[in-house]
Structure 1
Amino acid sequence: MFSRSVLAKAFAPPLEQVARPSLTATSTTFRACLHQSTTTTSATNPPTEPLSATVRAQSSIPAVQPTFQTSTTPVTRADVPADKQPIAPAFTTPLKVSQSLLSTLPQLTSQKPHYITAHLHDRPYLLTEGDDLRLPFLMPNVAPGDVLRFNRASLLGSRDFTLKGSPYLDERLFECRVRVLGVDSEPLRVKEKTKRRRRHVQQITSKHRYTLLRVMEVKAKSVEELQREGAIVEEEAKA
């Protein structure tokens, strides 16, 4: 009816088929228990050995360096050098003028037109009233029609008289006002760049913009204006 092989397979399965699932289950359970026991031990139990002061080679956490606070000069922007920072107006004391300056100032005031050597970002500009100035950069935060005042100058003079500062004049001695006309753009420039052993030519385009200004007023203040503003006359030392 039934052969011996069929009966053997039905009632007595081979030992390797029975042992294989048990080994697989045992190994899986062992790995799970080993992983859980290792994680729990490292997370809950602190290490019993004292911590070492030396940094191990396999550690990826960088060592914390001590920070020191140093006193620096306040600047407007980090990319502007210290010699190009704006000079803060020193109005804590009244303007002090010498007697020789007061005697020569009326002649300088009456002789027009005046010229001035104004400094903007450490660049001198020789200006007179009515001149058009194109700055070599785009001035931010200005609009056409705005009136600006240049308060840094090294020279102020006329045809026969010149007032020189060391290095700059006090801004209460003169007035130089300019008006923003607009923005000027240069023609589009295309520059070809290539490298050796390459067949690709790269084209770089540039189109810079500049701010246009017009000088509206350049004048030296008179003696009466300085006295109304509270100027003090210094007495010259006798030799």
Structure 2
Amino acid sequence: MFSRSVFRSLAAELRLSAPPSISSAAPLRQRACLHQTALLRTQQQETETQSSSSKPESPLSATPRAQSAQTETQNAPKVPSFDPFSSSSVPHTRADVPIAKQPVAPSFDSPLEVTNSLMSRLPHLVGQSPHYIVAELHARPYLLTEGDHVRLPFLMPKVKAGDILRFNRATALGSRDLTMKGSPHLDERLFECRVRVTGVESEPMRIKEKTKRRQRHIKQARSKHRYTIMRVMEVRVKTPEELLEEGAVVIEESEDTPQIEARS
């Protein structure tokens, strides 16, 4: 049986005989190795992410991209661009106007009756431009020439911007020296007056205070009216050839037929 003193002496000898590198440097080396492995792992992850982000899916060449871009642009549908201020978007003839927007053809029971004096003076009236017209709309006369802007004193229903309207009720039509008067109105087959709806204009808000006697309550009536804006596109007098082609009949002088008078 060994005593405690013998075990202590043996342990002291073993400590003295063991090399110092194993006892003191082993944990430091282990710590250093763990730290180096962590740094290496983080560096490897960074390099992998950089390589994956910089590596393209397709080869770095300009020709495939250019070809694909050309094919995409060729295959893409062409969308027509609409410019409201361009001349191409404004209809100039009856064929450019949609069928739903075209004016209704007038229907008459009898042909147009024109006198000899009117047929003789009509070429002089056609040759003098610009022409003016006194057109009526809701029993209100409007003196119009080509290019004028008209603001109606009301909002015209069922009308949108861009619609073309025709004024077919006129009391007078003339130029600088000649005037054709109706009794009381001119036949709409003698002229053409077309206007284009440009938009709607509104006035500032008006507030009117209403009170009653022996009452302290005051009511406010608000009103903000809107008006239709138009632009005269065409004021034209038909030539004698056009009237004859449409079936006009030349008759003798009468009081009911329109006459062309010289302006004093």
Aligned to 2:245: 228
Name the larger-Rg structure: 2
1: CA distance, partners of 2:193 / 2:147: 11
Could you tell me which amino acid in structure 2 is paired with residue 178 of structure 1? V
Report whether the alignment pairs 1:218 with 2:235: yes
Q: Secondary structure at the match of 1:104?
A: helix
Identity of aligned pairs, percent?
69
The one-letter amino acid paired with 1:101 is L
Give the Cα–Cα distance (whole angstroms) in 1 for the partners of residues 146 and 120 of structure 2. Answer: 25
Q: Which runs of 5 or more structure 2 residues have no equivalent in the other structure?
A: 1-105, 255-264
Find the partner of 1:196 among 207, 213, 216: 213
1:152 and 2:179 equivalent? no
**Paired amino acid for 2:163:** D
| Corresponding residue SS for 2:135 | strand
* Partner in structure 2 of residue 104 of structure 1: 121
Match of 2:139 in 1: 122
1:135 aligns with 2:152: yes
Normalising by structure 1, report the TM-score.
0.61
3-state SS, counterpart of residue 197 of structure 1: coil
Unaligned runs of 5+ in 1: 1-88
User: C-alpha deviations, 1:100-144, integer Å up to 9, x for none?
Assistant: 000000000000000000000000000000000000000001110
Residue among 224, 242, 248 paired with 1:207: 224
Q: What's the Cα RMSD here?
A: 1.2
- The structure that is helix-richer by fraction is 2
Q: What secondary structure does 1:142 align onto?
A: coil
What pairs with 1:166-205 in structure 2 (closer than 5 Å)?
166-205=183-222
Tell me the alpha carbon deviations over residues 16-69 of structure 1, each in whole angstroms, 9 at most, x when there is no partner: xxxxxxxxxxxxxxxxxxxxxxxxxxxxxxxxxxxxxxxxxxxxxxxxxxxxxx
Count of aligned pairs between the two proteins = 149
Q: Deviations over 1:171-212 (max 9, x none)?
A: 000000000001100000000110111111111100000000
Q: Measure the CA separation in 2 of the matches of 1:109 and 1:176.
A: 14
